[in-house]
A and B are shown apart, each in its own frame.
Chain A
Amino acid sequence: MSRKIYFISHNNFAQGLKQAVEMIAGKQDNVTALGLMPGGDPNAIIKTIEADITDADEVLILGDLEGGSVCNAAMRLTIKDNVTLVTGSNLTLALQVVLDSDPTHLDHQIEQARTGLKRLKLKVSSNQDDNFF
């Protein structure tokens, strides 16, 4: 049983997401990026995935936008027990799923990705090292 990951999106977001992941985590042979281009058919993307997977694969699809046409089209794949679809993908989540491929960790990874969405403001503190050990 092998794990196959698909990033799907509007336009080149999926390809860009894959390139960003590989810049940080190295080349990922089991990740495929598929973007819907203007005038393209979302079902063609889903057919590409369908042709690429078997019931023996453990399939994870990260989609860019819930309610968007690509995720809507991907919904029908989720009737298969071995296919999981997660929407609202971002770099935090994409990195987590390639670095830790245990499918039972997915809910935790989604939570982690959620906590990465926040305002970040520098808190200036003095340079202390008393808790080093």
Chain B
Amino acid sequence: MDEIKQELQSSSRATHQDYFGKALSYLCITFVGLLVLSILYFITTRGLATFTENHVSLWKFLIEKNWNPGVLDSHGQPQIGALPMIVTSFSVTVLSALVATPFALGVALFMTEIAPKRGTKVLQPVIELLVGIPSVVYGFIGLSVIVPLIRHTFGGTGFGILAGVVVLFVMVLPTITSLSIDSIKAVPMYYRSASLALGATRWQTIYKVVLRAATPGIMTAIIFGMARAFGEALAVQMVIGNAVLMPHGLLTPSSTLTSQLTTGIGNTTMGTLPNNALWSLALILLLMSLVFNILVRFIGKRGSLKK
């Protein structure tokens, strides 16, 4: 009797196990949290060095068109205008998302509204395989198929924004598709039955009811796709031409933030201005990634308020 009383009032192996387990899992999650913090910290401090140590004006960095960090201009100022890369990055991102969205919606509607069973069986693996192909393989196919094709059709070198858009379009397609599917599936069944019962055709139902209700989710899907396109490095770098020039159309070689980073980091010395300038490009990438995240959250909140 007293023994049981004793047991009930004192800690046992079970309580120790619990402390141990809790500590272990807290440790892991703390590590992940610290990791994210340190990534933000290191990239930010490095990226700001251009402005704090080398005293380059932030404004000039954002709007000047000449990128030549090793050379001083007539006023003795280094030429680090990141505008060409910013413009190119945004161009390939927006264009590839624009091209990909109709295809993604077509596939998503096919899998949810037109032939849910058969469609899912065939197209789910298609999406998974498109995700599975590594970005360098996309880059390689872009380089060996798309670039020559553009060269023969339009002339020029073939390298440029158009080639980048074609490659990125295929890469963001699965992202936009699978997230769109989720948001279309989340539209309640009775929306559709109500519309069909009123005599609407399937397309009217899809267009006026399903797509309207799923719009916030589809926007989120597109932003995720854009985030992927904006951050993609090697596939783009292989087909964009890597000339830091203001793009004059879709067919001239140019350079994105990511492609300039991958090309440049190995050729500059740590701590010098040309190197710092590259870290500033990385900082723009990081900030844009945060902006995409915030946009997704914002849309998620607006979308859920409407219901």
- Chain A bound to chain B: no
Taking beta carbons and an 8 Å cutoff, which residues of A are in contact with B? none
